[in-house]
């Protein structure tokens, strides 16, 4: 049986996959089972931050594999401690809880916020406000946090205590704060799955001030926007806000499963022994991989991200078949005249892998994609949008 046939028969049918089997790759180029090459403009949905099989990343992973691949969290290991220090020193956050995915990083953020509020204001202060059209994960609690009804259908009852407000409407947020006992507000600086929609800076600032006044924790979901993606280490750094909690995952370990929840001053000691845990959280190999990624996200790399972002934005703006460009850094949404799915299919046939998000073509290339490879991909995308 072919791999595609086997997958269709035995793997749960949750993914509408393209009819392509990827077998190998290097950098921003992947190869399918027929030997055809593709430029990868999705990087595993913003996961392979430095592309496929990056030499420095691979060396870090292999070096750790040669030492120890896993120990339980009953013992200390170097990569986990080193990664936590790196993340705290680069953000000003105080402590980190490690898990294995974005949803888990958000679960931890929600637990931290509820525990803080329960201890400080009373256990009835459990509501978490999120934005409409947001995406926070697939577990029952992060689905409840996700402000898109269609994800909820047939999975009820979801975890109670979530309220969704209109993105950009400060009065709606004020009303929700007045009519609920609120622990936290959780936002994405750029709604990724929601269609690459950046938050309005004035709204973000006003929401941040409201949270501060009311001792409501501000959680920023940086699962997709984090780790250099927007031209800053974390997307909130593009805005005039300081989150109490930051969750991240996707690109953090460059292609190995990881989740991290960064805890600021207010919540640094909210968790004590036994209050939360994860078997694989802080795994030495994933943590060593993440150290190698975070160490390389310096000003030079971030300048490159901004330059390449500007290049793409300029190259596609106003071109035939393109209605607009959204996003920040190398998190790019292209509103196309043709359905985004049709453009994605045409691009794939011409050797370029792109993502979609709602009505947009979504690009999340590797942060270090070479300029000539990027230019080649952009010319194919332009062609596919125009024809
Ligand atoms: C992908 C994503 C998640 C979920 O991450 P998983 O690793 O799939 O659990 C949560 N929040 C945002 C903003 C995401 O983009």
Can you tell me the distance from the alpha carbon of 100 to that of 98, in angstroms, rounded to the nearest whole number?
Answer: 7
Tell me if 197 is assigned to some domain. Answer: yes
Q: Do 251 and 364 fall within a single domain?
A: no
Q: Do 272 and 306 fall within a single domain?
A: no
Tell the residue nearest (CA) to atom 8 of ligand 1. Answer: 102
Q: Do 30 and 88 fall within a single domain?
A: no
357 membership: H or E segment, kind and range: strand 355-357
The answer to whether 117 and 126 are in contact (CB under 8 A) is: yes
pLDDT digits (tens, 9 = 90+) for 87-132: 999 999 999 999 999 999 999 999 999 999 999 999 999 999 999 9
Structure tokens at 9: 């028969």
Q: Can you tell me the mean pLDDT for 285-314?
A: 98
The alpha carbon of 100 and the centre of ligand 1 are apart by a number of angstroms equal to 11
Tell me if 76 is assigned to some domain. Answer: yes
Q: Best substitution site from 250, 256, 327, 328 to test ligand 1's pocket, by max atoms within 8 Å of Cβ?
A: 250
**How sure is the predictor about 200, in pLDDT bands with cuts at 50, 70 and 90?**
very high
Q: State the pLDDT at residue 387.
A: 84
Atom of ligand 1 minimally distant from the CA of 257: 7
**How sure is the predictor about 226, in pLDDT bands with cuts at 50, 70 and 90?**
very high
276: pLDDT strictly greater than 90: yes
Examine the fold and report which residue of 294, 309, 328 is the final residue of a domain before the chain moves on.
294
Atom of ligand 1 minimally distant from the CA of 188: 13
Phi-psi region of 119 (alpha: psi -120 to 50; beta: other; left: phi over 0): alpha
The alpha carbon of 102 and the centre of ligand 1 are apart by a number of angstroms equal to 4
The alpha carbon of 320 and the centre of ligand 1 are apart by a number of angstroms equal to 33
Q: Do 281 and 376 fall within a single domain?
A: no
The alpha carbon of 259 and the centre of ligand 1 are apart by a number of angstroms equal to 10
The alpha carbon of 66 and the centre of ligand 1 are apart by a number of angstroms equal to 30
Tell me if 63 is assigned to some domain. Answer: no
Q: Can you tell me the mean pLDDT for 284-296?
A: 98
Atom of ligand 1 minimally distant from the CA of 221: 13
Can you tell me the distance from the alpha carbon of 116 to that of 103, in angstroms, rounded to the nearest whole number?
Answer: 20
Tell me if 106 is assigned to some domain. Answer: yes
The alpha carbon of 189 and the centre of ligand 1 are apart by a number of angstroms equal to 13
The alpha carbon of 374 and the centre of ligand 1 are apart by a number of angstroms equal to 25
Tell me if 62 is assigned to some domain. Answer: no
CATH for 363? 3.90.1150.10
Q: Best substitution site from 42, 236, 249, 328 to test ligand 1's pocket, by max atoms within 8 Å of Cβ?
A: 249
Q: Can you tell me the mean pLDDT for 214-235?
A: 98
Q: Do 280 and 338 fall within a single domain?
A: no
Structure tokens at 38: 């593709």
Q: Do 290 and 314 fall within a single domain?
A: no
The alpha carbon of 47 and the centre of ligand 1 are apart by a number of angstroms equal to 11
Q: Do 274 and 324 fall within a single domain?
A: no
The alpha carbon of 233 and the centre of ligand 1 are apart by a number of angstroms equal to 17
Query: What burial class does residue 160 get, using C-beta atoms within 10 Å of its C-beta: 0-12 exposed, 13-18 middle, 19+ buried?
Result: exposed
1: pLDDT strictly greater than 90: no
Structure tokens at 80: 């986990």
Atom of ligand 1 minimally distant from the CA of 191: 13
Q: Can you tell me the mean pLDDT for 209-225?
A: 98
Can you tell me the distance from the alpha carbon of 100 to that of 2, in angstroms, rounded to the nearest whole number?
Answer: 31
DSSP result, 267-324: GTTS--TTSS--SSTT-HHHHHHHHHHHHH--HHHHHHHHHHHHHHHHHHTT-TTEEE
Q: Do 338 and 200 fall within a single domain?
A: no
Q: Which domain covers residue 348, as residue numbers? A: 3-53+298-386
The alpha carbon of 84 and the centre of ligand 1 are apart by a number of angstroms equal to 20
Q: Do 159 and 31 fall within a single domain?
A: no
Tell me if 319 is assigned to some domain. Answer: yes
Examine the fold and report which residue of 294, 309, 342 is the final residue of a domain before the chain moves on.
294
Q: Can you tell me the mean pLDDT for 228-245?
A: 98
Q: Do 246 and 289 fall within a single domain?
A: yes
Tell me if 222 is assigned to some domain. Answer: yes
Q: Best substitution site from 14, 15, 147, 193 to test ligand 1's pocket, by max atoms within 8 Å of Cβ?
A: 193
What one-character DSSP code corresponds to residue 349?
H
Share of the chain above pLDDT 70, in %: 100
The answer to whether 260 and 247 are in contact (CB under 8 A) is: yes
Q: What are the pocket residues of ligand 1 if the criterion is a CB atom closer than 6 Å to any ligand atom?
A: 101-103, 106, 135-137, 188, 192-193, 221, 223-224, 249-250
pLDDT digits (tens, 9 = 90+) for 25-75: 999 999 999 999 999 999 999 999 999 999 999 999 999 999 999 999 999
Q: Do 356 and 254 fall within a single domain?
A: no
Q: Indicate the Cα dihedral angle 89, 92, 95, 98, nearest 10°.
A: -70
Examine the fold and report which residue of 264, 294, 324 is the final residue of a domain before the chain moves on.
294
The alpha carbon of 103 and the centre of ligand 1 are apart by a number of angstroms equal to 6
Q: Do 280 and 133 fall within a single domain?
A: yes
Mean pLDDT of the chain: 98
Q: Best substitution site from 42, 137, 146 to test ligand 1's pocket, by max atoms within 8 Å of Cβ?
A: 137
Q: Can you tell me the mean pLDDT for 181-186?
A: 98
Tell me if 59 is assigned to some domain. Answer: no
Q: Best substitution site from 224, 257, 258, 260 to test ligand 1's pocket, by max atoms within 8 Å of Cβ?
A: 224
């Amino acid at each position: 049986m072919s791999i595609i046939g086997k997958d269709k028969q035995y793997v749960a049918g949750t993914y509408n996959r393209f009819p392509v089997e990827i077998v190998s790759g290097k950098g921003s180029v992947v190869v399918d089972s027929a030997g055809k090459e593709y430029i990868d403009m999705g990087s595993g949905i913003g996961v392979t931050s430095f592309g496929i099989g990056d030499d420095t990343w691979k060396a870090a992973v292999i070096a750790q594999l040669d030492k120890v691949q896993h120990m339980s969290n009953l013992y200390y290991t170097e990569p986990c401690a080193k990664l936590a220090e790196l993340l705290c020193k680069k953000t000003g956050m105080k402590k980190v809880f490690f898990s294995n995915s974005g949803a888990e990083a958000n679960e931890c953020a929600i637990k931290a916020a509820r525990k803080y509020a329960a201890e400080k204001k009373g256990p009835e202060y459990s509501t978490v406000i999120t934005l409409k059209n947001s995406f926070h994960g697939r577990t029952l609690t992060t689905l409840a946090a996700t402000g898109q009804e269609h994800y909820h259908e047939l999975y009820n009852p979801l975890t109670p205590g979530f309220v969704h407000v209109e993105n950009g409407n400060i009065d709606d947020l004020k009303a929700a704060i007045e009519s609920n006992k609120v622990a936290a507000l959780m936002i994405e600086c750029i709604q990724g799955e929601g269609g690459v929609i950046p938050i309005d800076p004035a709204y973000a600032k006003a929401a941040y001030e409201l949270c501060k006044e009311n001792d409501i924790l501000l959680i920023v979901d940086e699962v997709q926007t984090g780790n250099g993606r927007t031209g800053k280490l974390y997307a909130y750094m593009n805005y005039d806000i300081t989150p109490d909690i930051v969750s991240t995952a996707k690109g953090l370990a460059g292609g190995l499963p990881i989740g991290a929840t960064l805890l600021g001053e207010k919540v640094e000691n909210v968790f004590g022994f036994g209050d939360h845990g994860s078997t694989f959280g802080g795994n030495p190999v994933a943590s060593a991989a993440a150290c190698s990624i975070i160490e390389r996200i310096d000003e030079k790399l971030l300048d490159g991200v901004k330059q390449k972002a500007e290049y793409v934005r300029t190259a596609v703006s106003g071109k035939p078949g393109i209605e607009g460009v959204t996003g920040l850094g190398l998190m790019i949404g292209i509103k196309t005249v043709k359905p985004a799915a049709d453009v994605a299919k045409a691009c794939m046939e011409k050797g370029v892998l792109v993502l979609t998000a709602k009505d947009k073509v979504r690009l999340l290339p590797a942060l270090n994609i070479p300029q000539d490879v990027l230019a080649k991909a952009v010319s194919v995308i332009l062609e596919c949008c125009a024809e």
